Amino acid sequence: MLTITKPTLVLDERRVRRNIAAMAAKARRLGLRFRPHFKTHQSRAVGRMFRDEGVEAITVSSADMAAYFAADGWRDILIAFPLNILEAAAIGRLASRCRLGLLVETPESLPALARRVTAPLDIWIKINIGANRAGADWDDRALIEGLCRETLRHPAFKLRGLLTHNGRTYQARTLGALTRLHADAMRKMVRTRDGLAAAGFPGLEISVGDTPACARLDGFGGADEIRPGNFVLFDVTQLELGSCRESEIAAAVACPVVSTHPARNEAVIFGGAVQLSMADVLSRRDGRIYGRICRPRGSGWGPILPGTAITALSQEHGLVRTTAAEMRRIKAGDILYVLPVHSCLTVNLWDRYIGLDGRPVPTVRACPMQTFHNN
């Protein structure tokens, strides 16, 4: 058992490897390129576990994150975030050392990019299929064809394909709703690609792949690559959505109990927003929650305690509400494991995980290359 004295981010590497292997096998079975999003784990050590499964192409969400992984030998990196033209210098440095993909959605950004970056770039057009965050609307043919034309004007740019993130699947509370939302996205992407082929822009790829759809569905006909990220760790959000089983959640925050209140079936743990993030999820059973609770078991953690969840968070306090039966077993000085609501945001707060064997697994925050926040 790990010796825990304060909040600690714990990684079950066996589960991580299983999650990676399962998704890699699915991508192979469906004939898709597997380009996992590394913003979830943010760790070169975890990245290498993907390499062990034959992964060669990855997704990140910033030029800094691309630089962090490029330095560990990754040579095919897609920054799946709308082009930030202000970072053209960093983009140019990256493009000279690896195959770099960028998202564009504004035609004017392309000549500006071409003026500043001379190395080859893969250009993906970011498509909005209804999530209404970033991207060119899928049915805005004039805009999308304009982006294609403008890309082809610059010899260093390769017009690679169309990319979307179907964030709407995070609202799908049933398998039926998920299936419909995913089919709608695929239909729009394929129709857009076919329209572009007919308009003189043939051979474009399609890149999709949110974790809920990638974890549960097979209908990726027409796609060339998938980019799920969260599945490597999963979390309580995915569990509530039905994207994973409890036994697939691969990271938890071990937290000391510091205060017990049997009269209200509540305990306070040392573990708040700065250890877990303020991400919450609407649980079917328990309303709005900030984490699920397990007891230590073996070298890791056991099953989720029934009727138990974090119901309020402040900076370092987590308020755990539980049942009378569980309450009798909780005392100050105990360790409880918190399964995070959104593992990407939780991991982002830490400079390391601790493996079940006690060994540290550093994240980007432990990297001396502290150009990250100031280059």
* 88 vs 85: CA distance, rounded Å: 5
| Residues near 325 by beta carbon (within 8 Å), at least 6 away in sequence | none
Rounded least distance, CB 357 to a second copy, Å? 14
- Footprint of a second copy on residues 112-141 (CB under 8 A)? 112, 126, 132-135
Considering the complex, state which of residue 32 and residue 254 has its C-beta at the smaller distance from a second copy: 254
What are the backbone dihedrals phi and psi of residue 237, each rounded to the nearest 5 degrees, phi first?
A: -60, -45
SS3 147: helix
Residue of 82, 92, 195, 242 that binds a second copy (CB under 8 A): 82
Does 260 participate in binding a second copy (rule CB under 8 A)?
yes
User: Which of 176-184, 295-303, 308-316, 322-330 is the region at the interface with a second copy (rule: CB under 8 A)?
Assistant: 308-316
Asked if 354 touches a second copy (CB under 8 A), the answer is yes
Residue 322 amino acid letter: T
Stretch that binds a second copy, among 12-20, 144-152, 181-189, 272-280 (CB under 8 A): 272-280
Contact at 8 Å (CB) between 232 and 20?
yes
**Total residues at interface with a second copy (CB under 8 A):** 68
Choose which of 109, 192, 311, 322 interacts with a second copy (CB under 8 A): 109
- Kindly provide the residue ranges of all beta strands, DSSP E only, lying in the chain, ordered along the sequence: 8-11, 33-34, 58-60, 76-82, 99-104, 121-128, 136-137, 157-163, 205-208, 225-226, 251-261, 266-270, 281-283, 287-289, 291-297, 300-313, 317-321, 335-340, 352-355, 360-362
Among 12, 64, 122, 150, binds a second copy (CB under 8 A): 64
CB closer to a second copy, 76 vs 270: 270
Point out which span in 84-92, 193-201, 202-210, 231-239 binds a second copy (CB under 8 A). Answer: 84-92
Give yes or no for residue 371 binding a second copy (CB under 8 A). no
As a dihedral over the C-alpha atoms of residue 187, residue 145, residue 62, residue 188, rounded to 10 degrees, the angle is -10
Q: In the complex, what is the shortest distance from the CB of residue 318 to a second copy, in angstroms, rounded to a whole number?
A: 10
Both tokens of 166, joined, read 């179907």
Nearest to a second copy of 157, 350 (CB atom): 350
Q: Is 56 in the site for a second copy (CB under 8 A)?
A: no
Tokens found for residue 74: 């990754």
Question: Which stretch in 94-102, 104-112, 184-192, 231-239 sits in contact with a second copy by CB under 8 A?
Answer: 104-112
Contact window for a second copy (CB under 8 A) among 15-23, 49-57, 107-115, 156-164: 107-115
- How many other CB atoms sit within 10 Å of the CB of residue 48? 12
Report the nearest approach of a second copy to the CB of residue 333 (Å). Answer: 5
Identify residues 152-181 at the interface with a second copy (CB under 8 A): 167
